[in-house]
């Protein structure tokens, strides 16, 4: 039997790039997509196709996971969940997504047999940072590391480059300013294409190297080549 993948955040910028890669990957017999709402029609594979046969959607309340709401048995977990403080509405709500939902899902997947996990964090993530965003991202990384996954991959991209469905005016402005001067910026500060992050996640998980591996922003494109 092939491996079983689980992806959370499949409708987001990085997750929407990763899902078709997972469905096309011969190593996987089934891909479980854990979602707050059903996939939009534009993302759903054509009915009757091989990709459609591999995809199983699970529409769940992330806050209820582990309290009656379970998961299928899986091998590999891809965590692409994330929001902004502005979109979430408060620092507490932001933490509920970027820490509670991410770590809670990873913990439950580990209980259901997962041995490999990859997550999208952020450049500068540090649990001791004075910057709230960076501190929360760092706390999430530390909590994931404590789950004792045999193989854990943390990606720390700078600005993620790509067209989002949701509106993030601040991020859009930052990208508009950074793109023309990307070649002049230090490599770790350059915007990173969402496609490269998705490919890097897949390659890193399939390698299955033991222990915790942190892939910093300037190494993501290199890691995407496998």
Q: Which helix (H) or strand (E) holds 192?
A: strand 192-193
Tokens 């509920």: give the residue: 96
Q: Which two tokens stand for residue 96?
A: 């509920």
User: Annotated active-site positions, please?
Assistant: 133, 137
Longest dimension (CA), the chain: 51
Q: Compute how many other C-beta atoms are within 10 angstroms of the C-beta atom of residue 75.
A: 22
Cα-flanking dihedrals φ and ψ of residue 138, to 5°?
-65, -40
Nearest to 164 by CA among 103, 80, 92: 80
Which residues does residue 70 pair with via DSSP β-bridges, in sequence order?
A: none
Return d(Cα 38, Cα 211) in angstroms, integer: 34
Nearest to 194 by CA among 150, 169, 157, 147: 157
Cα-flanking dihedrals φ and ψ of residue 40, to 5°?
-65, 155
Q: How much of the chain is helix, strand and coil, in % rounded to 5?
A: 45, 20, 35
3-state SS assignment for residue 211: strand
């Amino acid at each position: 039997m092939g491996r079983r993948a689980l992806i959370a955040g499949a409708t987001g910028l990085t997750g929407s790039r990763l899902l078709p890669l997972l469905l096309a990957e011969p190593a996987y017999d089934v891909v479980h997509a854990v979602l707050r709402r059903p996939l939009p029609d534009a993302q759903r594979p054509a009915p009757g196709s091989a990709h459609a046969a591999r995809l199983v959607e699970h529409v769940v309340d992330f806050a209820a996971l582990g309290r009656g709401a379970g998961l299928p048995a899986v091998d590999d977990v891809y965590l692409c969940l994330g929001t902004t403080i502005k979109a979430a509405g408060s620092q507490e709500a932001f933490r509920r997504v970027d820490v509670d939902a991410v770590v809670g899902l990873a913990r439950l997947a580990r209980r259901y047999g997962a041995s490999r996990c990859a997550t999208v964090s952020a450049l500068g993530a540090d649990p001791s940072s004075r910057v709230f965003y960076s501190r929360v991202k760092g706390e999430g990384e530390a909590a994931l590391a404590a789950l004792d996954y045999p193989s854990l991959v943390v990606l720390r991209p700078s600005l993620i480059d790509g067209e989002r469905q949701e509106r993030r005016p601040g991020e859009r402005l930052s990208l508009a300013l950074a793109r023309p001067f990307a070649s002049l910026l230090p490599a770790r500060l350059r915007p990173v294409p969402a496609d490269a992050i998705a490919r890097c996640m897949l390659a890193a998980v399939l390698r299955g190297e033991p222990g915790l591996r942190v892939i910093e922003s300037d190494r993501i494109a290199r890691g995407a080549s496998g």
